Homo-oligomer: A and B are copies of this chain.
Amino acid sequence: MSHPVSPLAPKHQPALPPIAGVRLATAQAGIRYRGRTDVLLVLLDPGTRAAGVFTRSKCPSAAVDWCRETLRGGQSARALVVNSGNANAFTGLKGRESVRLTAEIAGKAADCAPGEVFIASTGVIGEPLDATKFDGVLADCAGRTGPDAERWAEAARAIMTTDTFPKLATRRVRLGGAEVTINGIAKGAGMIAPDMATMLSFVFTDADLPAGVLQALLTRGVAKSFNCCTVDGDTSTSDTLMLFATAKAGNAPVASVEDPALAEFAQGLDDLLIELAQLVARDGEGARKFVTVEVGGATDDASAHRIAMSIANSPLVKTAVAGEDANWGRVVMAVGKAGEPADRDRLAIWFGDVRVAVEGARDAGYDEEAASAAMRGDEVTIRVDLGLGAGAARVWTCDLTKAYVEINGDYRS
């Protein structure tokens, strides 16, 4: 199934530069889709280190289990295999067999141990994934891999399910006397897609950094990016974000995540993760408006984040945005239901720059017309000040439209 490209899609796709030690190729394995690529193979030079963060679901996919175990066994990475069309989630023993076989086939193709192969799957849940389909396909891919921009674009397309546009981002930063590159691709948006297609993102860099530093940077970065992005509040079984560093940049060694020499790299990585997370929200199913929710004045940042998520996940707030309705009463509701410290009589609310409520009541200068105008663009900002403390948070989401219901309700009927 394909849908019209989101009106929130970026006008231009960036051309990603090569990263020393990273080569990519895609293929059609015919897992579910016809007439499109559905497999990505990334070959990583010896010395590449990996870090990853995965879904907090209590029912994770077989691929997520594999990646977690493999990272525990060691951070050396030589290959990444991603397929779309089948999530290999909730497939029981068969699913575990399937990832093991995939790792063996990829290991042969990449001339490495299965324990150096990372795997991600996205698409239908509950369907057994026939890994024998990778036999031959991955060996063929290995012979065709390349480092150029077109390969990155192909890679971003091959992992799409119901995404309406490929998601790519790149940064170039200084690190320990060297220029280093960070490339990233992503697909999906949490549980936006039918049959539990999932959020997957893969970031690559030529930086030479210890695995522990990579993991610390990624864990810190995801809290400010993907964990601040929601479409429907439905957490997937397969969310996967991985960072691969090939250590080819020749930068001076960095011992710890606290090393000031990391500052620019960390900033560049955070920016890239935020850009990818926003692209994911911009492709939310049925999305017509990109929504930024900013919460300030909370007792602490965690409390601000929970309140921001309560607003961003409220069906009534999201439908109001879809209807270009400056319905701040629903924002009050969402603040109230979050269960976090809040004092109705200190609450202030803005749509865009228009303050609609202050001190627990409608703003005396409230102008319905100005507020409505702030809802009309395809980017809407909802700002809340709780007036309690210094806690702040920012999250991104999209509106809830009939198209969301249509896409998710009519899919198999």
A contact residues vs B (CB 8 Å cutoff):
55-60, 87, 89-95, 124-127, 191, 194-196, 232-237, 314-316, 319-320, 322-330, 332-345, 347, 357, 359-362, 400-402, 404-406, 408-413
Contacts and interface: CB of A to CB of B under 8 A. Distances in A.
Given A314-B234, A315-B232, A362-B126, A408 B320 contact: yes
B92 A125 contact: no
Given A90-B361, A126-B361, A322-B405, 6 more contacts: A59-B342, A89-B332, A93-B361, A233-B314, A315-B404, A319-B404
Contacts of A402: 402, 405-406, 409
Contacts of A127: 362
Contacts of A235: 333, 336-337
A196 B339 CA distance: 18
Contacts of A338: 58
A94 B362 CA distance: 11
28 contacts: A57-B333, A58-B339, A58-B343, A59-B336, A59-B344, A59-B347, A60-B336, A90-B332, A90-B362, A92-B360, A94-B361, A95-B361, A125-B329, A126-B362, A196-B316, A196-B329, A196-B330, A232-B316, A234-B316, A237-B332, A315-B404, A319-B408, A322-B405, A323-B411, A400-B409, A401-B405, A402-B405, A402-B409
Given A196-B329, A325-B412, A344 B126 contact: no
A405 B196 contact: no
A407 to B, nearest CB: 8
Contact of A90 (B94, B357, B404): B357
A57 B194 CA distance: 33
Contact of A332 (B125, B319, B342): B125
A413 B404 CA distance: 19
Contacts of A191: 316, 330, 333
